[in-house]
Each structure stands twice: as structure tokens, then as C-alpha cells.
Amino acid sequence: MNVRSIIAASLAALAAAGCGAPAPDKFADGKVTKQLHNEAAAVVRDTVTDHFGTPQNLVTTLELSEGKQPAIDFGVISGVVVDSNAVENAETLREHQFYASLSGDQSVTRGEIKGLAVVWKSGDYVTAVIEAPKADPKREIKKGQEVDASFHVLDFKPAGEGVGLVSLNFKLESPVKLGDKFEIIGHRLRKGRSLYMRHCMHCHGASGDGNGPTAKYLNPLPRDYRRGLFKFTSTRRPDKPSREDLKRIVQKGIPGTNMPAFLPALEERELDDIIEYVRWLSMRGEMEHNLGVALAAEGFSKSGWEKLQKAAAESDDPDAAGPKKRLENYVKLDLPQAVSGSLTALKRNWVLAEDPKSVIMPSTKRIGPDDPDYQKSLARGRELFLSTKANCFACHGTTGRGNGPQTTSFQKNTMPLAPAPEYPEPGLFDDWGNRIQPRDLTRGIYRGGRRPIDLYWRVKNGIKGTPMPTSPLPDEQIWDIVNYVLSLPYQENGTLAVTAR
């Protein structure tokens, strides 16, 4: 792995940041990781920890923040050294101190800067990049030497006019120089984590696995972020949700569920910080899932490990490699490429969702209730709803009550490492393996939002992570279906007794 292309910067001392709930020592394993042999699962855990850290010690993988449009905005404060001779007894200290001028988010306090990662952008220590957050804090860092040093701020004391005394966690071979530039990274991730632990963890879990302390009492279950799947988005089917998609859910909540609206409780910047942390949790979970699937494909699942072990024992070749040796070779030869490829894909896919071209917008206007052709639109929508062309009735039923024939048939199991080709019971299932019920459209409760554009997105683009498919219909017909769906709560006995509103 090229240490210059994948840089992980440690955010230490997170416990001092203040949280609404204590964080566990480690993130919970995903479903695929649990199905791996213990040694393969350990490889996944260690690799993901190197790039994302633990709940108590987050790590910012800087490759995800590079470029004009970062996949994650970790929060960056730029600094310039203005006095490098801050301490007279530097020889007796294990840290290095200097005065610096800081620019960026002026709302960041001394306590929020302490423990954050530092990356040098110029000067003698720009090559002391971060490869692992486990460097010996007692050793001296040599200038011009590429080392696995995880710089972070031990302390910051404001000195007025945007200048402060910065203390680093390492002693340096020689003082930094006047004008040397650096970045302090991670205050937004830290704020997001603190807010998440206070407002979100009890349902969604510290790992973002949808398994918080109150999750077992909720129906539907809280979202599991770790697959990178979010149901209600404005983006195309393969794309990730945009920041606006996530913000809309956090602001307005999800009707018909226990997901509340947070707009009155949180300020705009706090909403943004939570969203960045949710994105970070999701990317962490995706990397774990992707690496787990790759290792399972190589035969390192629990059942595959036994098969490899048996094959090696029965082989006539005395040099036949057993599963342990195969795993060692994979870690040495293939794992670096798998990690690099996963990070590249994560950045590409999440950044792509921010492209305005990824958002699906209708090509024609909707015929509204005040339009003279509205009743005709409703009639066309009903005909489409009941036709095999749109096939809405197959799940939602002929009356829209969510009791279509698909709810009583057996569905294919598309979960990774699924034990059987079909689910053991009839009904519809989402990509998390949960049994789900199609929406009863007569109740007028639309979880993705009740605006016409929200329903347009649901019909046009489907609902990600569920059997609700995309629609090939032209926009004029999709608007007809939207009008009909919006009319269902006002119908009597299935007739078009529509109230204009």
C-alpha cells in the first residue's frame, strides 16, 4: 500500500469531547464478518480499524477528504507557524510546542481542537505521514524521514487574534520553522460523533447497525447504515444518497416510524455535522462488508475454511497450502489492492451522489388538482396502477392496502452468504434481511415524504434496499400514478370520490 496515497490521521482523546452516551470499545461486526472464520474476521476488523478507528478513537482516512468535492468533510483548520521558539526547556519535553495562526472554523474551541490530527503541508516534517495510529509517542521524529507517526494536538492555548500555542504529541528533531503550514483535521467528525451519540445512538447503535438499546422495541427497525443503503433518496437507483437527502430525513423525520424530526431541536450546522458522521459510519460499514465478501469468495468463511482444510489434508501434494497459509498469502498479496479499490469506490460513489446530474428530476409538470384534466389523470393513474405495465397492484394490492399477491409468495434470498436460495417464509424482504410490508397507501402516510416530488422519486426510482423497483414509464404516466396514489386516502369503496386539495 502506498503510504502517500492512503493516509489515516488519528483523532485521539475523544472521551474528553463530551457525549450523550458512552461509546463502546469497538464497533459491532457486520453480518458477513460474523460468517467468516475467526482468523479471516480478525483481518477484516484490523484493516477497517486502521482506516476508521474505534468508537473511542476515530480515524480520518484523508483519501476520502481530498479533492474539490470530498466524500467526507472531516473539518479542516489551516495553520501557519508564527513562532517556533515557544519553549525554553524543549529538550526535557516529550512534545513540541510552537505558536501558530489558525484560520477556518472560528467556532471551534480549545477543547474541540485538543486531540485532533495534524498533517504538515510544508516544512521538514511533511513526509512524516500517518500510516498507523500506534506509533511510539516517546521517540523523536526526524526531519525528512517518512515514518508511521500519528501527530495530534496535545493542547491548544489561545493567545488572541487567531494565534495560539500548539502542543504536539511528539518531540521533533529540530523546531518547526516560521511559515511552515499544517492542517488540524477532524473537528466536524468529532462534533458529529458527539451529537450522534446523544440523539441517534439509542436507536441506530454506536456502529450504525440499527441495533441500539431501544431498537428491539421499534417497528420498523432503525436503519442499518453499514451497507451504504438508504431508502428515500432523490438520486438514481445505484447512487448513494446526497447530503440533501440525508438532511431532509433528519430534519423532517420519517412519518409512520419512530424516526422524529430534528429540525426544531438542532441547529443547521449540527444537522450537517451529524450527516457527515452518518456518512462516515456508512463508509466504514461498506468497507467492512466489501472486504468480508472478498474474503468469503476466497473460501475463508467458516464453512469454506473447513473445506480448504480438508482438501489440504487429503491432497497428495505435500506442499498444498491449507487455509491459514492461503489467508497469509491473501493478506500479503491481495489485501492492499482490495483496500485501495474499496476506498476509491467509496469516494467515487459518494461524491457522485452530490453531482446535480445524479438527482432525478421530472421532464414534465404534474397535472395538479386545479387543472381541468385532473380527473382524467386520476383515471389514467388508476388504470396504470392495476395494470401489469406498472404492476403496482402486485405488492400494494388492487385497493392499495399493501396486500398484493407478492406478499404471499416466496422470494429469492439475495443476502450475501445466504444459507438458502429462498427466504424460509413467504413475503417481501429488504436488503438487510428484514421482512417488510408494502405500504398501505389508503392511510396517507408516506415515509419518504408526502410532497408530489417525493412520490415521483419513489415511483420513478424505486426504494433502494427494497423490492420496490424503478419504473420505465414516461414521466407523464408516473405523474398520473402519483395523482392516483395521493387520492387513495380520499376514495370510498375503491371509487374515485376525490376531494380537491
What is the rounded CA–CA span in Å between residue 18 and residue 112? 10
Query: What would the grid cell of residue 333 be?
Result: 498479496
Contacting residues for 395 by C-beta, under 8 A, at least 6 apart: 402, 404, 406, 407, 428, 438, 467, 468
- Asked if residue 241 and residue 161 are part of one domain, the reply reads no
The pLDDT, as a whole number, for residue 25 is: 85
What is the rounded CA–CA span in Å between residue 484 and residue 495? 11
| Residue 435 forms part of a structural domain | yes
What is the rounded CA–CA span in Å between residue 9 and residue 300? 30
The domain tally of the chain equals 3
The pLDDT, as a whole number, for residue 18 is: 38
- Asked if residue 167 and residue 216 are part of one domain, the reply reads no
- Asked if residue 339 and residue 405 are part of one domain, the reply reads no
- Asked if residue 201 and residue 169 are part of one domain, the reply reads no
The pLDDT, as a whole number, for residue 392 is: 97
pLDDT digit string, tens, across residues 235-287: 998 889 999 999 999 999 999 999 999 988 899 999 999 999 999 999 999 99
Boundary-marking domain end, from 185, 209, 237: 185
The pLDDT, as a whole number, for residue 221 is: 92
| Residue 439 forms part of a structural domain | yes
- Asked if residue 199 and residue 170 are part of one domain, the reply reads no
- Asked if residue 134 and residue 166 are part of one domain, the reply reads yes
| Residue 363 forms part of a structural domain | no
pTM for the full predicted model: 0.89
Query: What would the grid cell of residue 206 be?
Result: 454506536
- Asked if residue 464 and residue 383 are part of one domain, the reply reads yes
| Residue 48 forms part of a structural domain | no
Boundary-marking domain end, from 185, 216, 239: 185
For residue 372, CA distances in Å to 317, 362, 470 come to 81, 21, 29
What burial class does residue 394 get, using C-beta atoms within 10 Å of its C-beta: 0-12 exposed, 13-18 middle, 19+ buried?
middle
The pLDDT, as a whole number, for residue 139 is: 56
H helix intervals, 298-408: 302-314, 323-333, 335-352, 374-385, 393-396
The pLDDT, as a whole number, for residue 70 is: 93
- Asked if residue 201 and residue 176 are part of one domain, the reply reads no
- Asked if residue 344 and residue 327 are part of one domain, the reply reads yes
CATH of the domain at 314: 1.10.760.10
DSSP 124: T
Structural domain harbouring 275:
191-356
pLDDT digit string, tens, across residues 153-210: 988 888 877 888 998 887 777 788 899 999 999 999 999 999 999 999 999 999 999 9
Cβ atoms < 10 Å from Cβ of 156: 24
| Residue 118 forms part of a structural domain | yes
Boundary-marking domain end, from 151, 167, 185: 185
| Residue 46 forms part of a structural domain | no
| Residue 322 forms part of a structural domain | yes
Q: Is 133 helix (H, G, I), strand (E, B) or coil?
A: coil
pLDDT truncated to tens, each residue of the chain (501 aa)? 333 334 445 554 343 333 456 778 899 999 999 999 999 999 999 999 999 999 988 998 889 998 888 999 999 999 999 987 665 444 444 568 899 999 877 667 777 788 898 888 998 888 765 444 444 555 566 665 555 567 889 888 888 778 889 988 877 777 888 999 999 999 999 999 999 999 999 999 999 999 999 999 999 999 999 999 999 999 998 889 999 999 999 999 999 999 999 988 899 999 999 999 999 999 999 999 999 999 999 999 999 999 999 998 888 777 778 999 999 999 999 999 999 999 999 999 999 999 999 999 999 999 999 999 999 999 999 999 999 999 999 999 999 999 999 999 998 888 877 788 888 899 999 999 899 999 999 999 999 999 999 999 999 999 999 999 999 999 999 999 999 999 999 986 544 433 333
What is the rounded CA–CA span in Å between residue 344 and residue 484? 43
What is the rounded CA–CA span in Å between residue 403 and residue 400? 8
- Asked if residue 242 and residue 179 are part of one domain, the reply reads no
| Residue 34 forms part of a structural domain | no
- Asked if residue 271 and residue 224 are part of one domain, the reply reads yes
- Asked if residue 233 and residue 348 are part of one domain, the reply reads yes
